[in-house]
Amino acid sequence: MSDHVRQTSIDAYHKISSGDLLSRARWIIYDWLFNHGPATAREVFATLRLQTNQSGRFTEMRDYGVLQEVGERPCHITGQTSILWDVTSFVPSVKLIGHETKLTRLRRLTRRLVSEVDAGTVEFDTLDAVKKELKCK
């Protein structure tokens, strides 16, 4: 990794660590990958003694922009070819809440609303959910 790329990752790391932008469980994974990555998900789980059913966190964090797939290699734990994960230099502007950001949730609700309008079957719960996300009355 070039010095510039590493420096931008360091800057992102400090901003994310001080900004409360990741849940505790996501932060533990991000912090480990920053300090030891790239690595496979299973290697991270084994080292941190986490349950392996948390692999969805990696794709959530990739979709959020803070992790990236950087290649594949045999996992040191399983021996199977696996995705290598590492941190990015991206600093999110909103906190990752649950499985999606507020922006992602709003986009999903908007798509649902548009499809309901197109079908002529707009549900009030969809409108209420969109209004809630937009903080409308």
Closest CA to 46 of 79, 16, 92, 6: 79
**How far is residue 43's CA from residue 78's CA, in Å, rounded to a whole number?**
9
**What is the arithmetic mean of pLDDT over 33-40?**
93
Higher pLDDT, 133 or 35: 35
Summarize pLDDT for 70-122 with one digit per residue, the tens.
999 999 999 999 999 999 988 877 666 555 566 667 777 777 778 878 888 87
Question: Please, are residues 60 and 66 in contact by the beta-carbon 8 Å criterion?
Answer: no
Q: What is the pLDDT of residue 24?
A: 84
Cβ contacts of residue 63 below 8 Å, gap of 6+? 104
- C-alpha 59: how far from chain center: 6
In this structure, what token pair is assigned to residue 3? 């010095």
pLDDT tier, 134 (very low <50, low <70, confident <90, very high otherwise): low
Higher pLDDT, 2 or 28: 28
3-state secondary structure of 86: strand
Token pair 């959530």 is found at 60
Q: What is the pLDDT of residue 2?
A: 40
